[in-house]
Amino acid sequence: MSHSRPARATPQTDDELNESEGRQDNFGCHKYERILHGRRLTRAELDLLVSSLLEAHPSHGRLLDVMTAGGLWLPVTLGLQIGDLDVASLVFHLSRGWFDQGEYPIPNQDRGHFEQGVLSPTVVPVSTSVAETVVQQIAFLQARRHPTGDRDWLFPGKSSGHPWNPGVFSHLILQPAIRRIGLPPISPKDLYFSIMRLRIEELAQQIPETPATPPSPSVSQALLPTGRRTPVQRQLELRGNDN
């Protein structure tokens, strides 16, 4: 009796497994709607979450700090290796993520949403503060005798040596941290969309407004209805008639 080979699993975070309100599409109108109307944090709430986690669990706080400042998805942040940061150029070279069944490539060709091409690895610019956070995390790992080569994990799990599973990290680390500061639960996916919305809003505020240019006199006159004259035009006409 033959047995069919099971289909290859694709990455799923805990909110994808547990949410039941509809299609879990990461692209198109569904993504747009979640950015606009999904559960979100304000900038003050997000900063409070990061700072409180940094104080309670520095390594986990640095993970959330990198995720927030870099605009990264939780599985992508968990999949970071030490050599992914180019300190000289201040960029992350992203080529993998981490989910409940291990490592998966970026871009992931098995999601099936659309053809993503050969864009791996993805290059993401980061700030000097993110680079400093990574340096602090490497020093933290070295102090605890974790390996810190280029191919070693930047945020290894508690004892396994590989990263946390996203669902486990959310359940054991993220959600308790959110409850401690008095906020309602938020899924890792909506946390990511909340981060992206804040980034978009803050970037939009940096765009200078173009001052409105007053119309030239010729344009102003051209816009007047046919047959009408301005008071100034009538005065000029009267003077011409007097002459």
Per-residue pLDDT of the chain (243 residues; tens, 9 = 90+): 444 444 444 444 444 434 333 344 445 566 666 666 667 899 999 999 999 999 999 999 999 999 999 999 999 999 999 999 999 999 999 999 998 889 988 876 655 444 444 544 688 999 999 999 999 999 999 999 999 999 999 999 877 779 999 999 999 999 999 999 999 999 898 899 899 889 888 888 888 777 666 655 554 454 445 555 556 556 656 655 655
Strand stretches in the chain, DSSP E: 85-86, 91-94, 96-99, 102-105, 122-125
Model pTM greater than 0.75?
no
Find, among 61, 36, 35, 40, the residue nearest to 49 by Cα: 61
Nearest to 85 by CA among 129, 55, 48, 142: 129
Q: What are the beta bridge partners of residue 94? A: 122
Longest dimension (CA), the chain: 114
Which residue in 160, 92, 90, 82 sits closest to 123, CA to CA? Answer: 92
**All structural domains of the chain:** 23-206 (1.10.443.10)
